[in-house]
Amino acid sequence: MSFDLLIKNGCAVLKDEVRKVDIGIKKGKIAAIGDALTEQAEEVIDAEGQTIFPGMIDVHVHFDEPGRTDWEGFETGSSMLAAGGCTTYFDMPLNGIPSTVDKKALIEKVKIGEDASHIDFGLWGGLVPGNIRDLEGLHDSGAVGFKAFLSPSGNPYFESVDDHSLLAGMRRIASLGGILALHAESAPIVTFLQQEKEAQGLTGCDDYAESRPPLAEAEAVSRALMFAELTGCRLHFVHISTTEAVDLIQHAKKRGQDVTLETCAHYLLYNHADFCRLGVIGKCAPPLRSESERFGLVDKLIHNEIDMVTSDHSPCEWKDKQKDNLFDAWGGISGGQFTLLSVIEIALKHHIPLTKVADWTAGHPAERFGMAPEKGKILQGTDADLAIVDLRKPEKVTKERLFQKNKFSLYVGHTFPSSIQTTINRGVIVYSDEKINTAARGEWCRPKILNVYH
């Protein structure tokens, strides 16, 4: 056998161990894993002293195309993720124009992604009031699942669901065998508290955080779990930011509900004090929490109570952030380039096995969303999706190193203990030597039948 690409002397993060191996790649697949492979190869990477992770699968990004490419697009967004060791991502449905709430919009977005994305991608469909009849078309056309907001989305074209729309949507999604992803903050609580604050002229960092308290997340999570129990709908909670919400979801799991949760890198590395220091760059929803909540989330992650870590990359132009009234500023974190590095930093600091990093960033997302067994693990026969990381070479984040379209991020100034050296998607080197291979093209990934997640 001859290989298209041979990676020599790297330490691969395998299913249950980290071991020095060679990895041979042919026709986009891992063809061989072994000690001192001697076959010929068209190209060889010497990964001596470096660690090879499964390519990250980021199930939560916003690329805003079509319609808002001044914020981000598939070309710049996929470049950014590739520079961060990501090889597959799922784009959320809300910020494009039109939003991805019917089959026509989904197919339009597929074409854009296939033309522009440098790495593999999947697409979420949306659940909004009035589109129940469109859910089957989205599902059958290959949507990963459906996304809904329980509080205002910030986008007037993608309305949040009321209780009736949520129940009806859950019932339909359950009948399709689909999965519903939820932004879980209580609309009555957050809108009431925001109106109170603004009526008093209180629009700073503390005021914004107090308008979206942990209680708002817990109430929405609890209600959604009850609705899902009634309807039999599979759930995935996005960007969970509090330990109380984690506990509620874990309790539901133990009762037999099919539910998973993600948190985001920024909730694991940053807290409310950082938000006050950074200002609008650190505004997101839910907001960055107290240091005790941040530490508690890390502890939940360490004890396997959080299924995966995502970026929730939610970009905009600076003019949409720079507002005197913090409530008017766009509420999203730009930083999809640094999720894998963030999780590695936490693992190194807390002496967590690197196999857990691979689970949280690749294995669990692949299993949950119908991408396994082709993706998510370094195994013979799987897609050759790999991130080669130097665990001993720190990276200080600068604006010049940002691959996203708008060059601001709360990660600027942060020094990660590790750095991404090379990213490979289906055997093609997409990122290396701090450059993107602009000829690389990803593929649209559609989920297989979703199995019950364990």
* pLDDT value for 215: 98
Span(s) in the chain for CATH 2.30.40.10: 3-52+382-436
* Architecture of the 3-52+382-436 domain: Roll (2.30)
> Given this model, what pLDDT does residue 452 score?
43
Instruction: Say how far apart CA 65 and CA 69 lie, in whole Å.
Output: 6
CATH placement of domain 55-368: 3.20.20.140
Q: Is 260 exposed, middle or buried (0-12, 13-18, 19+ CB in 10 A)?
A: buried
- pLDDT tens string 422-437: 999 999 999 999 999 9
SS (H, E, C) the chain: CCEEEEEEEEEEECCCCEEEEEEEEECCEEEEEECCCCCCEEEEEECCCCEEEECEEEEEECCCCCCCCCCCCHHHHHHHHHHCCEEEEEECCCCCCCCCCCHHHHHHHHHHHHHHCCCEEEECEECCCCCHHHHHHHHHCCCCCEEEECCCCCCCCCCCCCHHHHHHHHHHHHHHCCEEEEECCCHHHHHHHHHHHHHCCCCCHHHHHHHCCHHHHHHHHHHHHHHHHHHCCEEEECCCCCHHHHHHHHHHHHCCCCEEEEEEHHHHHCCHHHHHHHHHHHCCCCCCCCHHHHHHHHHHHHCCCCCEEECCECCCCHHHHCCCCHHHCCCCECCHHHHHHHHHHHHHHHCCCHHHHHHHHHHHHHHHCCCCCCCCCCCCCCECCEEEEECCCCEECCHHHCCCCCCCCCCCCCEECCEEEEEEECCEEEEECCEECCCCCCCECCCCCCCCCC
Q: What is the pLDDT of residues 172-188, one digit of tens each?
A: 999 999 999 999 999 99
Tell me what pLDDT residue 454 has: 39
What's the pLDDT score for residue 448? 82
Could you tell me the two tokens for 118? Answer: 């440098």
Q: Cα(45)–Cα(297) distance, rounded to whole angstroms? A: 37
Give this prediction's pTM: 0.97
Q: What residues of the chain score a pLDDT lower than 70?
A: 449-454
Beta pairing, strands 29-34 & 18-26:
antiparallel
Residues of the chain with CATH 3.20.20.140: 55-368
What's the pLDDT at 449?
63
